[in-house]
């Protein structure tokens, strides 16, 4: 009988843990309030005491930022050539909303645009920007990087990274930059529809590895596809972004025996 009670309470304990994680995942306030309190999203930054070196200590929910072995971004070097599947993009022009979340300028995307790789289809959820770039190539930073964040029906994340170098003004970015909300938490709704196809480079050769979100909670299991051909933006466009969002790149992380492949 005692053993049965033990098993029952163990089962209840597991259920509580599951409930706490479910609450965390959904952002709900219900569930185990202590666990929810401990795991709540802590404030974080790109510099100082709440900067990248300390993200893993700011909240138990951010543990992977410090302990994870498959983290992003990385320095792209020593790639292994491989027969990788082509990236098939079916992006549609849609109305957008532009959000300043305090860490980046994010463009939320209406459903219906997809990235297909092999048998997996991912929906484009949002894209956002970093300056300088988060990924380096052979130790070199770029002026910026765009991340197109996709999710499959079973919840797997795949990010298409596009490096941005200084050069001619980027026409695609103009309406986004023009409607960048100046303060954190603000949204804007540009009247123009946007077609991300106009932003992407012609070349679709890419580097691939398994990594993580580059911001807390640094969740792993993210498939990264970083296009090898960069696009350009003007110095003035970089400055404009930096005046609204200061430098927002996490330092590169250790590869830890992961494989970095490049499409042929």
Which residues make up the interface to Zn ion (CB under 5 A)?
147
CB closer to Zn ion, 170 vs 214: 214
CB of 95 to Zn ion, least distance (A): 22
**CB of residue 75 vs Zn ion: minimum separation in angstroms?**
16
The distance of closest approach from Cβ of residue 105 to Zn ion in the complex, given in angstroms and rounded to an integer, is: 11
Instruction: Check if the beta carbon of residue 148 is closer than 8 Å to that of residue 115.
Output: yes
Tokens standing for residue 129: 């920007």
CB 158 within 8 A of CB 130: no
The torsion defined by the Cα of 76, 205, 167 and 234, in degrees rounded to 10, comes to -80
* CB of 136 or CB of 147, closer to Zn ion: 147
Cα–Cα distance between 231 and 172 in angstroms, integer? 11
Shortest Å, Cβ 25 to Zn ion: 20
Task: Report the alpha-carbon distance of residue 195 to residue 254 in Å, rounded.
Answer: 35
For residue 67, give both structure tokens.
């302990």
| Least distance between Zn ion and beta carbon 215 (Å) | 7
Comparison of 147 and 262: residue with beta carbon closer to Zn ion: 147
CB-based closest residue to Zn ion = 147
Q: Which is nearer to Zn ion, 21 or 97 (CB)?
A: 97
CA dihedral 247, 164, 251, 215 (to 10 degrees): 70
For residue 207, give the nearest of 72, 69, 84 by alpha carbon: 84
Residue 147 or 150 with smaller CB distance to Zn ion: 147
Return the C-alpha torsion angle 151, 152, 155, 160, nearest 10: -40
Question: What is the nearest approach in angstroms of Zn ion to the Cβ of residue 98?
Answer: 15
- Beta carbon nearer to Zn ion, 117 or 222: 222
216: nearest Cα among 31, 106, 56: 56
């Amino acid at each position: 009988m005692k053993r049965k009670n033990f098993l029952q309470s163990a089962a209840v304990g597991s259920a509580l843990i599951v409930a706490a994680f479910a609450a965390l995942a959904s952002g709900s306030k219900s569930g185990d309030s202590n666990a929810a309190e401990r795991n709540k999203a802590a404030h974080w930054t790109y510099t100082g005491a709440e900067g990248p070196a300390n993200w893993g200590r700011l909240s138990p929910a951010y543990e992977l930022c410090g302990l994870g072995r498959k983290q992003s971004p990385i320095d792209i070097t020593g790639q292994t050539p491989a027969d990788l599947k082509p990236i098939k993009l079916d992006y549609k022009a849609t109305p957008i909303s532009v959000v300043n979340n305090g860490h980046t300028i994010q463009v939320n995307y209406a459903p219906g645009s997809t990235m297909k790789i092999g048998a997996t289809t991912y929906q484009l959820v949002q894209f956002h920007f970093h300056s300088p770039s988060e990924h380096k190539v052979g130790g070199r930073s770029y002026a910026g990087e765009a991340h197109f964040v996709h999710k499959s029906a079973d919840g797997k994340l795949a990010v298409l990274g596009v490096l941005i170098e200084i050069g001619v003004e980027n026409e695609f970015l103009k309406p986004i930059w023009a409607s960048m909300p100046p303060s954190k938490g603000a949204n804007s709704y540009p009247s123009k529809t946007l077609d991300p196809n106009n932003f992407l480079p012609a070349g679709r050769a890419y580097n691939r590895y398994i990594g993580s979100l580059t911001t807390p909670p640094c969740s792993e299991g993210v498939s990264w596809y970083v296009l090898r051909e960069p696009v350009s933006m003007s110095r003035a466009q970089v400055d404009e972004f930096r005046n609204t969002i200061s430098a927002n790149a996490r330092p590169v992380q250790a590869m830890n025996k992961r494989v970095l492949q490049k499409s042929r």
